[in-house]
Amino acid sequence: MDKKFAVLPCNGLDKAAGSLTREIAMRLVEETGSEIICPVFYRVVDARYNKLAEENPLLVIDGCGTRCASKLAGEKGLKIAGKININEEAKKNNVEIGASLRLGENELHLCDLVLKDILKEEEKEIKGEENVAGAVPENLEYEKFTKDKFIFRIPKEGFYYNENDCWAYVVGNKARIGVTDFVQKSLSDIMFFTPPAMGSEIEQFGEAGSIESGKAVFEIISPVSGMITAINEELLDFPEYINDNPYEKGWIAELKLTDFESDKELLIGFDEYFEIVKRKVDEFHV
């Protein structure tokens, strides 16, 4: 089970979290035969790592929310297979990262935990339930508008929206959710999808995973409350489907609804959303 990665750590030197990315990268080299992409060198000479990045799954390790390594991968157009953010791992594992730049006991402990996670990750396959809300029609009818070179599509019928640019398509007691064209156009090339956990209970407007481009991270704000019963596993390999069509093959997840009657009060239909999104596009450059 030796999984070889091309590892791209941010290697930030001015924070312990940055140094931790380097420590983890080195451990992966030792334990799995992975190879490191040096972010400093990569900036200067791309050709050096192109082959390595193409032939191996790319694991990006960021120290903090500035996401230097992710942004670098985005600039170079690399496909990200896995991703770690040290600050988030620290929170998740309840480990406090100290102010010193050197790695102490806590930091090394976190390093062990993260490594264990990476190495067991490939074993746990996400088990999908049958897609019950597969009833989203295949040839959706869209209303479109353009701004500069961008075309925005909004499905005309059957979709509920929230004002945070996410949609829900409801069939019986299940719903499929996703983001609208406004989100995918503002992010531009989507490089990474973090799905919500299967079986997790999500409140209305709670976070249902996130998507990420070189530009930013977008938290998917679930229009409905319920339990996650399916995620779009294809997006794990092809997050760019969200750019192709966020309503059809770029859907995010499905939920079993808890209280749609009450959720509905805070959702809007096509007419209202179309006006809102047009205004947003006019106000901000995408």
Partner 1 sequence: MSENTFMGVPRDKIDWAPTIDYTKCDYCMECDKFCPHQVFEVRENEEKKLIVKNPNNCVVFCRACSKTCGPDALSFPNKPETTKQIKEIRKELEGNG
Q: Is 264 left (phi over 0), alpha (psi -120 to 50) or beta?
A: alpha
Phi, psi (rounded to 5 degrees) for 183: -65, -50
Q: Which of 64, 114, 191, 208 binds partner 1 (CB under 8 A)?
A: 64
Q: Which of 94, 138, 149, 284 binds partner 1 (CB under 8 A)?
A: 284
**Dist. CA 41–CA 284, nearest whole Å:** 35
Check binding of 274 to partner 1 (CB under 8 A).
no
Is the CB of 34 or the CB of 204 nearer to partner 1? 204
**Dist. CA 271–CA 242, nearest whole Å:** 23
For partner 1 (CB under 8 A), the number of binding residues is: 24
For partner 1, the binding residues in 159-218 under the rule CB under 8 A are 162-164, 203-206, 216-218
**Dist. CA 119–CA 82, nearest whole Å:** 12
Stretch of 117-125, 138-146, 167-175, 262-270 contacting partner 1, by CB under 8 A: 262-270
Q: How far is the CB of 121 from partner 1 (least distance, A)?
A: 22
What kind and span of H or E run contains 166?
Answer: strand 166-171
Is the CB of 53 or the CB of 110 nearer to partner 1? 110
**CB crowding 61-92: b at 16 or more within 10 Å, else e:** bbbbeebbbbbbbbebebebbbbbbbbebbee
For partner 1, the binding residues in 65-84 under the rule CB under 8 A are 65-67
Binding site for partner 1 (CB under 8 A): 15, 63-67, 87, 162-164, 203-206, 216-219, 221, 262, 265-266, 283-284
